[in-house]
Chains A and B, each alone.
Chain A
Amino acid sequence: MKNFIKGLWREHPIFRQLLGMCPTLAVTTSALNGLSMGLAVVFVLFFSSLVVSTIKRIIPHQVRIAVYTVIIATFVTIVDIFLKAQFPDISKALGPYIPLIIVNCIILGRCEAFASKHNISSSLSDALGMGLGFTWGLFLLGSIRELFGAGTILAGTAFKIEVMPSAYNPLIVMILPAGAFLVLGLLVAIMNRIEQ
């Protein structure tokens, strides 16, 4: 339980550890993109941790990173193929960022720092905590950017809400890269303030 909670807040991968900045900044142009990216990471993190934690004793120390990378790459490719087959629109929107999960340092980091040293159940709760922490971070970032940059929330789903009045002129900078840095900076500042 302790392992699960820490990823959600105290050791939050985005706001506390500042890991995985590439997808964090690049794909959070809308709430849906952030959410899908987050869930893809949860899947990969969960199964990679499961496999790494299971076979940790038989992996030779010298090639452990290579083995982790192969395992992670396998699950990432599965996610990529699955999205292409079942959710082609999300797959197009996330583009090259799904294959790039392979080099997302959260996953390799958790495999190396946690799953390879702990038993299966604590590794799984660690993976779920970190993954869901990452997901809510991306979802929040995506929602804020979409709200100001497009005036909607959850566009592209059945739950689309037109928050801003139709006269609202979208702040395009919010869905451009600069907006990602601005919102991320503000959120990290807020988190730091709360922690003090």
Chain B
Amino acid sequence: MKETIKITSVLTVVCMLCAFFLSFVYDKAQIKIKENKKKDIEDAISKLMPEASAEKIEIDNEQIYRLSNKKNGLLAYAFIASGQGYQGKIKMLVVVDSSFKKLEGIEVLESIETPGLGAKIQEKRFKNQFNGLDVSSPIEYVQGSPDKDNQIVAITGATVSSRAVTNILNKKIEELKKIMEIKL
């Protein structure tokens, strides 16, 4: 009995001290982590649309950024799309024109695809295919050369990653189109 009390009390004290210590560190770092995430998104937006200023809005629990400038008013929308890639999560920032018909471009924020193969989704050669891509119908990926406005060329040897990117984009765009139609 004495033994049990000793074991329980030592474990409890150790866990409480650790938890206290951790919550202190977490509290201090939390602000900085949030800032980093915000900065990632802002950097990506200004890369894709340097002339616009972003304003965050929330519709049906979806975070959307309204991109506009003084001269032209509303230019485009930006949003985060993420989903399963080949090895882990792919997280992208997507900019789409104000009518949700044409992509302005994408930026990969986070991904852990295979180096040398799937990791090429971060390279300009792949990403730039999305600039001006037609999204009024779902994006398709092809091997060889594209012959329609909604097609991109998959990366050789990394079809899974290419497919993941297109699927994530299609799904998110479809969802947002529905929400935006109702609200706007």
Contacts of A175 in B (CB 8 A): 115-116
- Interface residues in B1-27 by Cβ distance below 8 A to A read 3, 6-7, 10-11, 14-15, 18, 21-22, 25-26
Contacts of A88 in B (CB 8 A): 36, 40
Report how far A16 CA is from B10 CA in the complex, Å: 36
Q: Is the interface of A mostly helix, strand, loop or mixed?
A: helix
**Interface residues on chain B, number (Cβ under 8 Å):** 24
**Interface residues on chain A, number (Cβ under 8 Å):** 27
Q: Given the known inter-chain contacts A29-B115, A85-B32, A175-B116, please indicate yes or no for A70 contacting B15, CB distance below 8 A.
A: yes
B88–A71 CB distance below 8 A: no
Q: Given the known inter-chain contacts A62-B7, A176-B115, please indicate yes or no for A86 contacting B21, CB distance below 8 A.
A: no
Q: Given the known inter-chain contacts A60-B3, A95-B88, please indicate yes or no for A176 contacting B116, CB distance below 8 A.
A: yes
Q: Given the known inter-chain contacts A29-B115, A74-B18, A81-B25, please indicate yes or no for A67 contacting B11, CB distance below 8 A.
A: yes
Report how far A176 CA is from B118 CA in the complex, Å: 12
- Interface residues in A38-59 by Cβ distance below 8 A to B read 58-59
User: B74 in the interface, Cβ–Cβ < 8 Å?
Assistant: no
Complex partner residue of B32 from A58, A62, A86, A95, CB under 8 angstroms: A86
Complex partner residue of A66 from B11, B22, B26, B110, CB under 8 angstroms: B11
B115–A172 CB distance below 8 A: yes
A65: min CB distance to chain B, Å? 11
User: B99 in the interface, Cβ–Cβ < 8 Å?
Assistant: no
B37: min CB distance to chain A, Å? 8
Complex partner residue of A67 from B14, B32, B112, B116, CB under 8 angstroms: B14
Contacts of A82 in B (CB 8 A): 25, 29
B36: min CB distance to chain A, Å? 5
A172–B15 CB distance below 8 A: no
B29–A84 CB distance below 8 A: yes
Residue-wise interface mask of B (90-125) relative to A, using a CB-CB cutoff of 8 A (1 in contact, 0 not): 000000000000000000001010111100000000
A95–B112 CB distance below 8 A: yes
**CB-CB nearest in chain A for B91:** A92
Residue-wise interface mask of A (70-108) relative to B, using a CB-CB cutoff of 8 A (1 in contact, 0 not): 110110011001101110100010010000000000000
- Which 6 residue pairs spanning A and B have beta carbons closest together? A172-B116, A85-B32, A85-B29, A74-B18, A175-B115, A88-B36
Could you write out 6 A-B pairs with CB less than 8 Å apart? A60-B3, A60-B6, A67-B14, A70-B14, A82-B29, A176-B114
Q: Which residues of B contact A (CB under 8 A)?
A: 3, 6-7, 10-11, 14-15, 18, 21-22, 25-26, 29, 32-33, 36, 40, 88, 110, 112, 114-117
For the complex with contacts A74-B21, A81-B26, A176-B115, 8 further pairs of A-B residues with Cβ separation under 8 Å are A63-B7, A71-B14, A74-B18, A85-B36, A92-B110, A170-B116, A176-B114, A176-B116
